[in-house]
Structure 1
Amino acid sequence: MPAHRGENATGGRPEEPKIDRPLTLHLRGDWGTANLHRVCGWVSQELADRAGPGTRIAIWNSRGFSDAVRAVGRAEVDIAMTTPAAFAVAALDGRGGYAGEAFPQLRALGVVPQRDRLVMAVHRSLELTSFAELRDRAPQLRLATSFRDGVNHVGLAAQEILERARVDVLGWGGRFLSDERPFESLDHVLTGRANAIVHEAVMLPQWQELAPDYRFLPVEDDVLAGLEADYGWPAATVAEGYFPGAGGFRTLDFSDFLMVTTSSLDEDVAYAIAWILGETRHLIEAQYRHLPPERSPISYPLDPPTMGRTPIPLHPGAARYYQALPAA
């Protein structure tokens, strides 16, 4: 029986897509200068090269969190990037931050791997090594994190961890220093305005700078288990020595950029985008090779089979690409 278009019948690479008709697509990236926008730009360029004359692809600014997922689910855009990938699972049945608005039609086109963690660190002058000690001493914390507005995933995750660990920052006389992006939060720490931080983007060099003066608190097992059971948020480990002078510890996984769409996206477009993610990956890798892989915002080298392991169901067109990859 002959292979269907995209299937790998000979053991070679999956067939390059060609779409004869013009496309009009709307994508959502990030604020404008970060990694999600870069991915959207890469995919848009390569898709336009393989689509009909007159193709138009717009990239809208976004926060890259639940706002991006909702925009896809509400058909405001065709495709969006969001991070961390696992946080989109709750949108399928309307749990957590998506309570009251489920999007069972969400589908994935692939993930762009990014090894990241959400961590909490406190200044060494507080002499704390655990959440248990934090509860016992109830110190005044000036805690830098992101906005806790139900959209920003950093602020959402920080709120969940602190509440489940019974850390009452305001009740203990402390305060939050809240911003949108990690750079402002890290600056609060480095300038002394903050004495604690809950944040991600652990590959940024500012973490290496602050680490000698800070202790990283392992998130307690019952908190991590509850987050996974309730929302599908997985736990992960930070390796010993990743932060200077710090041992290994368990915390919340904050990995991977997810490209999300809905089941209504045309199958040939979904296949083409998955093909672009896997077969032209060198184009995005080249933008990060000046950084060591373990310190890069995109964890290269990218591996197409891994990019097809998504926390929400793959779009059938995208699945066709990943299924056509040569066997390892």
Structure 2
Amino acid sequence: MKPVTCRTQPGRPAEPKIDRSVTLHLRGDWGGANLHRVCGWIAQELADRCGPHTRIATWNSRGFSDAVRAVGRGEVHVAMTTPTAFAVAALEGRGGYADESFPDLRALGVVPQRDRLVVAVHQDLGIHTFAELRESKPALRLATSVNDGVNHVGLAAHEVLTRSGVDITGWGGELLEDERPFESLDHVREGRANAIVHEAVMLPPWQELGRFMNFLEVEQDVLDGLYEDFAWPAAVVDDDYFPGCRAFRTLDFSDFLVLTRADLADDLAYAIAWVLGETRHVIEGQYRHLAPERSPVTYPLDPVTMGETPVPLHPGAARYYNALPAS
């Protein structure tokens, strides 16, 4: 008999039991980061509640528009992507999805990660605002992710800089482009870069670098344009989140979206949403050695807010969230 770690509590939505054996394909991240970890959690808890010959595989991915397209095309049943808001454009074929829309995308929930895309320049440059940056036109060596039409960080960095009137190469500077944040942070730490546009602000290297960087607030007209064109929201970085840095507004880069299509079986959609909400202690336990505000998963997880997604919920998932007791 399979081990089952959780049973229905009084007043909670009913625990799923799927008698048939299923084969599911999930899509996570490169293999060693948080999206893959979430997929492993879903796979373990879902398999415990399905037939004895259930098989669940997690495919490697970049976790950006490639994941959205893969699930939209039916290549996988469930995909993880981040940030959550960036998937909205795929529903209507806006922005990077102008060539191929996916109106049948549905959400199973979100795993919260409070994150921001930030623009920072070395304090030696004496620049504190985008206006000063445009006036000075320094030859920056700027680290960020690749802008290849897939990587959401590179895409967002390009949009923010271009709409802010910043021309890195035109001003005689250099772009240092990589896939993941670790390489970009290393460029700054090791002196190869004197500016950075990136996310994953909870990573420890940001605390080290923050003492030597000025963080630039993204101007309101830029934030408004990004929301109008792509539905990308703005957010605040709180006072002293980076050492000695006052609060500022920038682009929100929050949350991991669990994405599927409308044709996923209702009982599977309900079961996955139930796993997210009712076995949340499984994933929380993997991050509790970190303070919530410094954790790649912002715990404690709240099932109600996990069901609040900018992409419409799958009806099976909605059945779980609608069954939650009123707070």
TM-score band w.r.t. shorter chain? over 0.9
State how far apart, in whole Å, the 2-side matches of 1:107 and 1:318 are.
9
In 2, distance between residues paired with 1:87 and 1:192?
Answer: 32
Equivalences for 1:217-228 in 2 at 5 Å?
Answer: 217-228=216-227
Which letter does structure 2 place at the counterpart of 1:261?
T
Letter in 1 for 2:237: V
Residue 11 (structure 1) shift: 7.0
Q: Is the 8 A contact 1:11 1:326 kept in 2?
A: no
SS in 1 for 2:109: strand
What is the DSSP-based 3-state SS (H/G/I as helix, E as strand, rest coil) of the residue aligned with 2:171?
Answer: coil
C-alpha displacement of 1:100: 1.3
Matches within 5 A, 1:52-71: 52-71=51-70
**Residue of structure 2 equivalent to 1:5:** none
Q: After superposition, what is the alpha-carbon deviation per residue over 1:34-85, rounded to whole angstroms, capped at 9, x for unaligned?
A: 0000000000001000001111111000000000000000111000000000
Identity %: 74
Which consecutive residues of structure 2, in runs of 5 or more, have no partner in the other structure?
A: 1-7
| 2:187 alignment partner in structure 1 | 188
The alignment status of 1:229 with 2:228, answered yes or no, reads yes
1:257: which partner in 2? 256
| Rounded Cα–Cα distance in structure 1 between residues aligned with 2:76 and 2:232 | 25
RMSD over equivalenced CA pairs, Å: 1.0
Q: Hey, what does 1:200 align to over in structure 2?
A: 199
Report the Cα offset of residue 169 of structure 1: 0.3
In structure 2, what residue type is equivalent to 1:257?
Answer: F
CA distance in 1, matches of 2:96, 2:174: 23
CA distance in 2, matches of 1:211, 1:122: 10
Aligned to 1:315: 314
| Inter-partner Cα distance in structure 2 for 1:132 and 1:315 | 44
Q: Which runs of 4+ in 1 moved over 2 A?
A: none
**Which residue pairs with 2:163 in the alignment?**
164
In 1, the alpha carbon distance for the partners of 2:101 and 2:92 equals: 5
For the pair 1:37 / 2:27, whether they are aligned, the reply is no
For the residue of structure 2 that corresponds to 1:58, the secondary structure is strand
The equivalent of 1:26 in structure 2 is 25
Aligned AA for 2:262?
Answer: S
Which residue of the partner structure matches residue 287 of structure 1? 286
Kindly indicate whether residue 188 of structure 2 is the aligned counterpart of residue 176 of structure 1: no
Q: Aligned partners of 1:18 and 1:210: how far apart in 2?
A: 49
Distance 1:29 1:236 in 2: 26
Secondary structure at the residue paired with 1:302?
A: coil
Tell me, in whole angstroms, the C-alpha distance in 2 between the residues paired with 1:97 and 1:220: 23
Secondary structure of 1:268's partner?
helix
Query: Does the CA contact (< 8 Å) of 1:66 and 1:153 recur in 2?
Result: yes
d(CA) in 2 for partners of 1:299, 1:213: 26
CA contact (8 A) 1:240 1:247 kept: yes
- The CA distance in 1 between the partners of 2:257 and 2:46, in whole Å, is 18
Native 8 Å contact 1:13 1:324 kept in 2: yes
1:276 equivalenced with 2:297 (yes/no)? no
1:94 and 2:90 aligned: no
TM-score (norm: length of structure 1): 0.97
d(CA) in 1 for partners of 2:159, 2:147: 10
Q: 1:99: how far off?
A: 1.1
Letter in 1 for 2:276: L
Partner of 1:130: 129
How many aligned positions are there?
320
